[in-house]
Amino acid sequence: MNLATAKVWAGALCVFACYSFLWKENRFFRVFQNLYVGLAAGYSLVVNFNNVRRQAWGPLTTKGDIWVIIPMIFGIMLFARLFRKYAWIARYPMAFLMGLGSALSMKAIESDFVRQIQASLISWKGVGLGGTLNNLMLSLGTALALVYFFFTFKPNVVSNAAGRVGRWVLMLCFGAAFGSAVQGRLSLLISQMQFMLKDWLHLIS
Amino acid sequence: MNALKWFGDLDKRWLYLLLLLVVVFPLLRPLGIPIDVTASTSQFIAAVDKLAPGDRMLLVFDYSIGGGPDVDPQAQVVLAHALSRGVRVVEVAFVDTGLNYAVKTVELWESKGKVYGTDIICLGYATGVETAISAFAQNISAVFPTDVRGKPIGSYPIMQGLKTAADFKLITEFATGIPGPAEWIRQVVTRFKVPLGCGVVAVMGPQNVPYLQSGQLVGLLGGGLKSAAEYEIAVKMPGAATAAMDAQSLGHLMIVLFVILGNLLFLVERQERRAAKVGGVRA
């Protein structure tokens, strides 16, 4: 048995182990579950180690880029969390990271807020009846879903009714998300079956 | 009524077995159920078709192993389409497992005659999610001083003149979570005004449609494997996704049937509970 064939057989074994969970919880499944977790952790460790070596250690030692020392020190400081006595040291790089993250996400004001409001302000008249209905649903649906989240004034009959319709709009959205989730899970099953039938059993080309 | 109750009491493992059979049968005996190409997929194809031979496209592998079967066929067909038009492709990953797909893809195309460093290149993976994307967009060589093979990126013909994200004619990103379209729009599209097309797992599709409607995305493959199949059909490059569509359609049909039956059973049982309650009060 060559290496390629051994890989396929190992893959098939993994598929059997994972799907055996559908029959019942068993030791065979747990062994492969732990194997998966271990492999993922090992892979992540190696990739991130190489990342540090390439982006920080390499430029420092080959090009003499001393500026990369700063993020390297910040990175090492994060490990202080492992020692109770020096855990406070990790707060400084953490604070820096939080500040950086907050600053970067400020761009969402334009991309997720302003541009989305602009996109919602459309003419109701669309191309044909379907287009008009689509535009109406977009505008009214957005407005009604927002009404559902109004908590700052005393509700009345109109706001209650609008909020209720808004809730239906949200439910339709959740339904679409659920349908898509089912579609995604089914894709995973199909992909595994394609592997089993094609690469392992050679029943399809 | 009895049949419904029998269904309710059925061991769920029979349903798993039935689903398995429904999925496997069309893989063995394709039915040829027609596939329609949706507008968002057509828009994505049009964005790639706009590229001229020699233009550079960035292809981002931001997907995990778990979501790979849903998104990888999208990335593969978009890459095949771009390369077939003479477009040069730069690959990067901001999810560690994405690197694995990127490296394999480069090896595959090298074996088909594409020249590494001229037609296609893999810069590697950078940690830092949104921060890394922002840094990459501002200065590519600062985040990737060397490519995945350890050579300085400036030594490759494909990288000549590429300094920021604005130097790409098109960016295509394939994601299963964070980072995803939202991060790329925030850090790259908003600032550098580069056209961005995204492919995502089916569950992320609906939440990214507003970006397409607002024009922040030039194309969206939001239906997972289904979108990949649409793309394959439209560009006449049928592959694994197209072959999977019969199984997907039949699997969905079965699940819809289960949902209807489950709801009918719920209504019947609720009616019986109410009747029993009223009967109990009267007694």
Q: Give pLDDT tens digits for A115-154.
A: 888 888 888 887 888 888 888 888 889 889 998 988 887 8
Chain A nearest-CA residue for B99: A47
Res B282: pLDDT: 64
Percent of chain B surpassing pLDDT 70? 98
State how far the Cα of B245 lies from the Cα of B247, in Å rounded to an integer: 5
| Mean residue pLDDT across chain B | 92
Does B146 touch chain A if contact means CB atoms closer than 8 Å? yes
Res B9: pLDDT: 83
Res B279: pLDDT: 74
The CA distance from A179 to the nearest CA of chain B, in Å, is 8
Cα A17 to Cα A24, A35, A42, B41, B137: the distances in Å are: 11, 11, 21, 36, 42
Res A42: pLDDT: 94
Interface of B with A in 205-224 (CB under 8 A): 205-207, 210, 213-216, 222-224
CB contact under 8 A, A55 and B27: no
CB contact under 8 A, B124 and A54: yes
ipTM for the complex shown: 0.85
Q: Are A141 and A169 in contact (CB under 8 A)?
A: yes
Percent of chain B surpassing pLDDT 90? 75
Under 8 Å CB-to-CB from A44, ≥6 apart: which residues? B96
The CA distance from B280 to the nearest CA of chain A, in Å, is 34
Residue with tokens 């890459």: B79
Interface of A with B in 115-174 (CB under 8 A): 115-116, 118-119, 138, 173
Q: Give pLDDT tens digits for B195-216.
A: 999 999 988 988 898 899 889 9
Question: Which residues does chain B have within 8 Å of residue A181's beta carbon, measured at their own beta carbons?
Answer: 202-203
Does A101 touch chain B if contact means CB atoms closer than 8 Å? yes
First CA to last CA distance, chain B? 26
Res B267: pLDDT: 92
Write down the pTM of the prediction: 0.87
State how far the Cα of B173 lies from the Cα of B195, in Å rounded to an integer: 11
Query: Which of A63, A115, A197 is facing B216, going by the closest CB pair?
Result: A115
Indicate the pLDDT class of residue B281, thresholds 50, 70 and 90: low
* Residue A67 in this model has a pLDDT that exceeds 80: yes
Tell me the average pLDDT across B61-81: 93
Burial class (CB in 10 A: 0-12, 13-18, 19+), A181: middle
Q: Are B182 and B158 in contact (CB under 8 A)?
A: no
- Picking from A72, A186, A193, A203 by the largest number of B CB atoms within 10 A of its own CB, the best residue to mutate is A186
Q: Give pLDDT tens digits for A29-51.
A: 999 999 999 999 999 999 889 88
Query: Which of B187, B214, B244 is facing A107, going by the closest CB pair?
Result: B187
Nearest to B220 by CA among B199, B206, B203: B199
Nearest to B148 by CA among B139, B137, B156, B157: B156
* Residue B283 in this model has a pLDDT that exceeds 70: no
Chain A nearest-CA residue for B206: A177
Does A193 touch chain B if contact means CB atoms closer than 8 Å? yes
* Residue B77 in this model has a pLDDT that exceeds 90: yes
Question: Which residues does chain A have within 8 Å of residue B224's beta carbon, measured at their own beta carbons?
Answer: 180, 183-184, 187
Query: Which of B65, B70, B213 is facing A187, going by the closest CB pair?
Result: B70
Question: Which residues does chain A have within 8 Å of residue B18's beta carbon, measured at their own beta carbons?
Answer: none
Question: Which residues does chain B have within 8 Å of residue A48's beta carbon, measured at their own beta carbons?
Answer: 96, 127
